């Protein structure tokens, strides 16, 4: 049996860093590894997954989750999972056939709704690590939401992350109430 391991939380919580570290660990162990990210994500680099510490690994661009089935590997690493289309069935089936998964993604949109297929993924995962960021308003280490700073409601398909800040529950509510004024 394989397994499905997911790192989730708001932006800037270190999710990509976790999967890159895990990918390197598996490579050193001699596992055949494939790394994917949504083609839509060109934030830092086109054909690499990149973390905020400058670590990067070569990746394939995909649009649908099902596309990973076209690649043979022992270990599948996926970044920015929330932007992928399709559904998680193939991941479950592949895990049942012995494949291992390390996946990072935002759990919530800036409107605090489940982001893409992340909700479904979390429900079928063996291990979920929900991480926090430093709240950019009060500076406590308890940010669980990504707040969209501009008043534009198609927020969940935006990629550039300069417009988003990680915030705690208290500061999120405070910012939202100011928006309504």
| Residues in contact with Zn ion by the rule CB under 5 A | 135, 137-138, 168, 171
β-sheet bridge partners, residue 61: 37
Closest to Zn ion by CB, 141 or 152: 141
Q: Is 80 a catalytic residue?
A: yes
The string of DSSP letters for 63-76 reads SBGGGGGGS--SEE
Catalytic residue among 80, 136, 163, 179: 80
For the CB of residue 13, give the shortest distance to Zn ion in the complex, in Å.
14
What's the farthest any 2 CA atoms get from each other in the chain? 57
Closest to Zn ion by CB, 60 or 136: 136
Burial of 32 (0-12, 13-18, 19+ CB in 10 A): exposed
For the CB of residue 98, give the shortest distance to Zn ion in the complex, in Å.
43
For the CB of residue 136, give the shortest distance to Zn ion in the complex, in Å.
8
Closest to Zn ion by CB, 126 or 141: 141
Of the candidates 91, 79, 73, 59, the residue with the CA atom closest to the CA atom of residue 18: 79
Cα separation, 168 vs 143, whole angstroms = 4
For the CB of residue 37, give the shortest distance to Zn ion in the complex, in Å.
29
Closest to Zn ion by CB, 27 or 137: 137
- Would you give the distance in Å from CA 9 to the centre of its chain? 8
- Which residues are catalytic, by number? 80
């Amino acid at each position: 049996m394989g397994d499905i391991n997911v790192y989730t939380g708001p932006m800037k919580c270190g999710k990509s860093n976790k999967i890159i570290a895990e990918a390197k660990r598996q490579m050193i162990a001699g596992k055949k590894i494939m790394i994917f990210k949504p083609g839509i994500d060109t934030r830092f680099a086109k054909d690499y997954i990149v973390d905020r510490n400058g670590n990067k690994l070569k990746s394939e661009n995909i649009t649908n989750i099902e596309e990973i089935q076209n690649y043979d590997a022992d270990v599948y690493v996926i970044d920015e999972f929330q932007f992928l289309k399709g559904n998680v069935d193939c991941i479950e089936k592949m895990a049942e056939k012995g494949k291992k998964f390390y996946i990072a993604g935002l759990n919530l949109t800036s409107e605090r709704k489940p982001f893409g297929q992340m909700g479904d993924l979390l429900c079928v995962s063996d291990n979920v690590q929900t991480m926090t960021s430093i709240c950019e308003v009060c500076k406590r280490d308890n940010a669980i939401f990504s707040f969209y700073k501009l008043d534009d409601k198609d927020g969940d398909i935006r990629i550039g992350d300069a417009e988003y800040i990680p915030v705690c529950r208290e500061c999120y509510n405070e910012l939202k109430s100011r928006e309504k004024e």
